Amino acid sequence: MEIIIGSIPPLPSQAQKLPAKGGNFIEAQLLHVRPPRKGIAGPSGRERRTKQGVDPRKGRVLTIMVPDASLLPADIETAKYDVTIRLIRR
Protein backbone atom coordinates (compact mmCIF):
# COMPACT_ATOMS: atom_id res chain seq x y z
CA MET A 1 0.00 0.00 0.00
CA GLU A 2 1.30 3.42 -0.92
CA ILE A 3 0.04 6.56 0.79
CA ILE A 4 0.96 9.89 -0.70
CA ILE A 5 -0.20 12.94 1.20
CA GLY A 6 -1.00 16.16 -0.62
CA SER A 7 -1.49 14.94 -4.19
CA ILE A 8 -4.42 13.94 -6.36
CA PRO A 9 -4.59 11.50 -9.24
CA PRO A 10 -4.11 13.04 -12.69
CA LEU A 11 -7.29 14.28 -14.32
CA PRO A 12 -8.50 12.50 -17.48
CA SER A 13 -8.34 14.54 -20.66
CA GLN A 14 -11.51 16.52 -21.26
CA ALA A 15 -13.49 16.31 -24.49
CA GLN A 16 -13.95 19.38 -26.64
CA LYS A 17 -16.25 21.81 -24.86
CA LEU A 18 -19.48 22.79 -26.54
CA PRO A 19 -19.99 26.51 -27.11
CA ALA A 20 -22.28 28.28 -24.67
CA LYS A 21 -25.89 28.87 -25.60
CA GLY A 22 -26.23 31.99 -27.69
CA GLY A 23 -22.80 31.24 -29.13
CA ASN A 24 -20.74 33.09 -31.66
CA PHE A 25 -21.92 34.55 -34.93
CA ILE A 26 -20.66 32.67 -37.98
CA GLU A 27 -20.61 34.46 -41.30
CA ALA A 28 -22.04 32.53 -44.24
CA GLN A 29 -22.96 33.13 -47.87
CA LEU A 30 -26.43 32.46 -49.27
CA LEU A 31 -26.07 30.21 -52.32
CA HIS A 32 -29.59 29.23 -53.31
CA VAL A 33 -33.24 29.64 -52.31
CA ARG A 34 -35.90 27.19 -53.44
CA PRO A 35 -39.53 26.42 -52.63
CA PRO A 36 -40.39 23.55 -50.25
CA ARG A 37 -40.50 19.95 -51.46
CA LYS A 38 -43.65 18.57 -52.96
CA GLY A 39 -44.62 14.90 -52.99
CA ILE A 40 -42.63 12.81 -55.45
CA ALA A 41 -44.67 9.88 -56.67
CA GLY A 42 -42.88 7.10 -58.46
CA PRO A 43 -44.28 5.04 -61.33
CA SER A 44 -46.39 3.00 -58.93
CA GLY A 45 -47.97 6.14 -57.47
CA ARG A 46 -46.24 5.63 -54.12
CA GLU A 47 -43.90 8.09 -52.47
CA ARG A 48 -40.29 7.39 -53.47
CA ARG A 49 -38.66 8.94 -50.42
CA THR A 50 -38.36 6.63 -47.45
CA LYS A 51 -38.05 9.43 -44.90
CA GLN A 52 -41.38 10.96 -43.96
CA GLY A 53 -40.68 14.68 -43.90
CA VAL A 54 -43.12 17.43 -44.73
CA ASP A 55 -41.90 20.93 -45.50
CA PRO A 56 -44.16 23.80 -44.42
CA ARG A 57 -46.22 25.24 -47.30
CA LYS A 58 -44.97 28.80 -46.79
CA GLY A 59 -41.40 27.68 -46.07
CA ARG A 60 -38.30 28.21 -48.18
CA VAL A 61 -35.18 26.07 -48.31
CA LEU A 62 -31.95 28.05 -48.04
CA THR A 63 -28.58 26.67 -49.06
CA ILE A 64 -25.77 28.45 -47.26
CA MET A 65 -22.00 28.07 -47.31
CA VAL A 66 -19.76 28.67 -44.32
CA PRO A 67 -16.29 29.58 -45.66
CA ASP A 68 -14.45 28.40 -42.53
CA ALA A 69 -15.92 25.10 -41.32
CA SER A 70 -13.62 25.08 -38.29
CA LEU A 71 -15.99 27.67 -36.76
CA LEU A 72 -18.81 25.11 -36.74
CA PRO A 73 -19.25 22.73 -33.78
CA ALA A 74 -17.77 19.29 -34.32
CA ASP A 75 -21.14 17.61 -33.71
CA ILE A 76 -23.17 19.87 -36.04
CA GLU A 77 -24.65 16.87 -37.89
CA THR A 78 -26.54 15.71 -34.78
CA ALA A 79 -29.14 18.46 -35.42
CA LYS A 80 -29.14 19.42 -31.75
CA TYR A 81 -28.67 23.06 -32.64
CA ASP A 82 -31.05 25.92 -33.27
CA VAL A 83 -29.95 28.19 -36.10
CA THR A 84 -30.84 31.86 -36.25
CA ILE A 85 -30.14 33.84 -39.39
CA ARG A 86 -29.82 37.58 -39.89
CA LEU A 87 -29.97 38.73 -43.48
CA ILE A 88 -27.89 41.80 -44.43
CA ARG A 89 -28.18 43.30 -47.89
CA ARG A 90 -24.80 43.89 -49.56
Q: List the pLDDT tens digit at each of the 90 positions of the chain.
A: 555 566 566 667 666 555 555 567 888 999 999 988 776 666 666 666 666 667 777 888 899 999 988 888 888 888 788 888 888 888
Supply the DSSP string of 23-39, one letter for each residue: ------EEEEEEPPP--
Q: What pLDDT is stored for residue 89 in this prediction?
A: 86
**pTM of the complete model:** 0.54
**pLDDT, position 31:** 92
H/E stretch holding 61: strand 61-65
Which helix (H) or strand (E) element contains residue 65?
A: strand 61-65
Q: Using CA atoms, how far apart are residues 36 and 40, in angstroms rounded to an integer? A: 12
